[in-house]
Structure 1
Amino acid sequence: MKKIDITCIIDDDPIFVFGAKKIMQLGNFCNSFMVFHKGEEAINKLRPIILANAKVPDIILLDLNMPVMDGWQFLDEFIKIPSRKEILIYIVSSSIDPQDVERAKSYDHISNYLVKPISIEELQKILQKEH
Structure 2
Amino acid sequence: MKKIETSCIIDDDPIFIYGTKRIMKEIDFCNDILVFNNGQDAMDGLNELTSQGKDLPSVIFLDLNMPIMNGWEFLEDFVQIPNNNREKVTVYIISSSVDPRDLERIKNYDVVNNYILKPLSPQDLEEVLESMI
Report the TM-score when normalising by structure 2.
0.94
Residue number in structure 1 paired with 2:48: 48
1:51 to partner: Cα distance: 4.2
Structure 1 window deviating more from structure 2 (46-55 vs 8-17): it is: 46-55
Q: Which of 107, 125, 128 lines up with 1:126 in the alignment? A: 128
Sequence identity percentage: 47
User: How do residues 99-118 of structure 1 correspond to structure 2 at under 5 angstroms?
Assistant: 99-118=101-120
User: How far 1:52 sits from its partner (Å)?
Assistant: 3.7
The unaligned stretches of length 5 or more in structure 2 are none
Answering whether residue 93 of structure 2 is matched by residue 91 of structure 1, we say yes
Q: What is the rounded CA distance, in whole Å, between the counterparts of 2:63 and 2:31 in structure 1?
A: 21
Give CA-to-partner distance per residue, 1:13-54, whole Å, 9 cap, x none: 000000000011111111111000011111011113124431
- Partner of 1:122, secondary structure, is helix
2: distance between equivalents of 1:95 and 1:83?
A: 32
Are 1:65 and 2:65 an aligned pair? yes
1:81 lines up with 2:48 in the alignment: no
1:45-87: CA deviation from partner (whole Å, max 9, x where unpaired): 1113124431421110000000010000000000000222211
- Name the amino acid aligned to 1:13: D
Q: What is the one-letter code of the residue matched to 2:90? A: L
Say what the alpha-carbon RMSD is for the aligned residues: 1.1
Count residues with an aligned counterpart: 131
Q: What secondary structure does 2:69 align onto?
A: coil
Q: Please state whether the residue corresponding to 1:32 is helix, strand or coil.
A: strand
4+ residue segments displaced more than 3 Å: none
Amino acid across the alignment from 1:72? W
Q: Aligned equivalents of 2:51 and 2:110: distance in 1?
A: 20
Cα distance, 1:21–1:35 mapped onto 2, change above 3 Å: same
Aligned to 1:35: 35
- Where does the alignment leave 5 or more consecutive residues of structure 1 unmatched? none
> Which residue matches 2:25?
25
**Distance in 2 (alpha carbons) for counterparts of 1:117 and 1:96:** 13
